[in-house]
Amino acid sequence: MSAVPFVDLSVAPDDAEVRAAIESVLAAGSLILGPEVDAFEREFAEYCGSGHCVGVSSGTAALELILRGMGIGAGDEVIVPAYTAIATWMAVSEVGATPVAVDVDACYGIDPRAAAAARSPRTRAVIAVHLLGRPLDLNAVADALPDVPIIEDCAQAHGARIGPKRVGSSGIAGAFSFYPTKNLAALGDGGAVITDDAALADRIRLLRSFGWRTRSESLIRAGNARLDEIQAAVLRVRLRRLDAGNARRATIAAEYTARLTDVPGVHPPGGHAWEDSVWHLYVLRTSTPAVLQKFLRERAVAALRHYDPLPHQAQAFADMAGATPLPIAELLASESLSLPMGPHITSNDIDSVVDAITEWAAAGRPGGAGAS
Ligand SMILES: *Cc1c(COP(=O)(O)O)cnc(C)c1O
């Protein structure tokens, strides 16, 4: 039985397209904000069905520039889900605003009722996170928070659809990460903002690079959050493969679910709510995820805990802990285990993962609370 890695970030020796894309940038000698970034921005905006795309240096930068572009900063509050990557919260605190945590529902999405209760006169926006690849119901968020702009954090949901629309194209703006583990991945850091608001897109372009309209005129004060040409060239190739990769993830997820449904002690993410997911992560629930994780590791299967600790449990946000009880997020965090997922997973890998989990269950879940 060979090892099953959680992700595979290597570029195959026979991946001629990605290698040729890099070579062409090397030959052209234009390395920052050139023709590849322009072309990627056009192609990604079109793919997402959005009017504008601005390539930036990371998903966190994308969120920060959206917030800054909206004029959000010190004294402002932004509603965020308790269950998310810590980057969602960090973007808010980095612009000087306060992340206001609200609990999630059993499908890891922000709970609209909790969001409504968290609203205050200082609320300037809500960040709706399409977590794990599952598109969130934005209508429910909009109904709960009338007139509050919705920023979509799409870092885990490239290409996911809400009805006919891709994520990121319904709110005021969508933020994407191209971190190497994401469904659309660069060979390093990268990110993008999409929006239909031309004025916001224009401000974000200025915020991306020293407030420059042209190299000689800085119109506003701003830092550097640029996407580079090599990453953009690689992203153009991989954008053409995104739908196939997402379809492969859905097949793997369906296989996991079919084969784990009757295994005692583990609960696959099932049912209607997950139909449209692009399966960035495949997250099981079990009462002792750390124990199962260790059992799998001994069988060379890599499983990870997303997200433990949660942002409000991190030392960085210790001053905000306890403001609101977050029982569902904490329950999910204590029960979640992510299985290896991605286009690299073979049917032999699926066998190895399922066999190891079945072995653990058959042995009475050794080491866990279910062992008795
Ligand atoms: C990865 C991620 C981010 C941050 O993206 P970076 O490119 O790493 O800055 C933000 N939000 C979510 C939900 C993520 O998964």
Q: 261 CB contacts (<8 Å, ≥6 apart)?
A: 268, 270
59 lines ligand 1 (CB under 6 A): yes
pLDDT band at 26 (very low <50, low <70, confident <90, very high): very high
Whether pLDDT at 370 is above 70: no
Of ligand 1's listed atoms, the one at least distance from the Cα of 129 is: 13
pLDDT digits over 109-153, tens only? 999 999 999 999 999 999 999 999 999 999 999 999 999 999 999
183 lines ligand 1 (CB under 6 A): no
What predicted TM-score, i.e. pTM, was given to this entire model? 0.97
Determine the distance separating the centroid of ligand 1 and the alpha carbon of 66, expressed in angstroms: 14
Whether pLDDT at 368 is above 70: no
154 lines ligand 1 (CB under 6 A): no
pLDDT band at 371 (very low <50, low <70, confident <90, very high): very low
Determine the distance separating the centroid of ligand 1 and the alpha carbon of 193, expressed in angstroms: 13
pLDDT digits over 279-298, tens only? 999 999 999 999 999 999 99
184 lines ligand 1 (CB under 6 A): no
On whether the CB atoms of residues 182 and 155 are closer than 8 A, the answer is yes
Burial per residue of 220-259, b for 16 or more beta-carbon CB atoms within 10 angstroms, e otherwise: eebeebbbbbbbbbbbbbbbeebeebbebbbebbebbbeb
